[in-house]
Amino acid sequence: MSRRSGGFVVLEGIEGAGKSTQLERLGRRLAATGTEIVRTREPGGTEAGEQIRGLLLDPGFGDVAPETELLMIFAARAEHLHQVIRPALQRGAWVLSDRFTDASFAYQGAGRGLAMERIEALETWLQGDLRPDLVLVFDVPVEVGLGRALARGKRDRIESEDIAFFERAREAYRTRARCDPERYRLIDGTPDPETVEAAVARAWSDWLENRAG
């Protein structure tokens, strides 16, 4: 897929890591350059995707099989790619997504115990060679992240998982970031939003410099 400009940037992390806040701040920074910015999220980003999201996060949805959960997320992702991500990249926009396929490896792979090879097969089938240009992984201790999530109000279905689930997901994110330092930047999400924003700005500048070089 050819692109004129822009890029695909994903912000990842466990619950309460601060990625949604930083997505908005990064979006404002990029919008100031006059480039088209598309802010989106997973699961979600389309009408069908948002309906799937609502079901997956509903505490009343119940204890479905991990395979069911994974396939529902990839169904939402298919619509997201078809309706939002690919068209925006083709236009030369910057796409900023709150989560993408790394979340499937962290949550359904490490968290639920599904084979990574099966997730990789779905990734390849659905995305082809499309991968995010940059993944910002916001890392916080599980207790910190869940504390922040709980402070927002009633917990959703995923936030109700036990600490061990999120420890596995967190370590999966950290491992993926370490294994591909060209595309990933691991950012400490523990400090206040302004400090984290400054770290994002440094990571962004470093990535742009490497991209240009």
Among candidates 72, 82, 142, 102, which has minimal Cα distance to 10?
102
> Is 141 within 8 Å of 167 (Cβ atoms)?
no
Burial group, residue 210, by CB count within 10 angstroms (0-12, 13-18, 19+): exposed
- Binding-site members are 13-20
Ordered DSSP codes for 50-103 = HHHHHHHH-GGG----HHHHHHHHHHHHHHHIIIIIHHHHHHTPEEEEE--HHH
Gap between the Cα atoms of 132 and 139, Å rounded: 18
User: How open is the CA angle 98-103-105, to the nearest 5 degrees?
Assistant: 160
- Binding-site members for ATP are 13-20
Gap between the Cα atoms of 84 and 50, Å rounded: 13
Among candidates 99, 110, 100, which has minimal Cα distance to 169?
110
Rounded to 5 degrees, what are φ and ψ at 76?
-65, -40
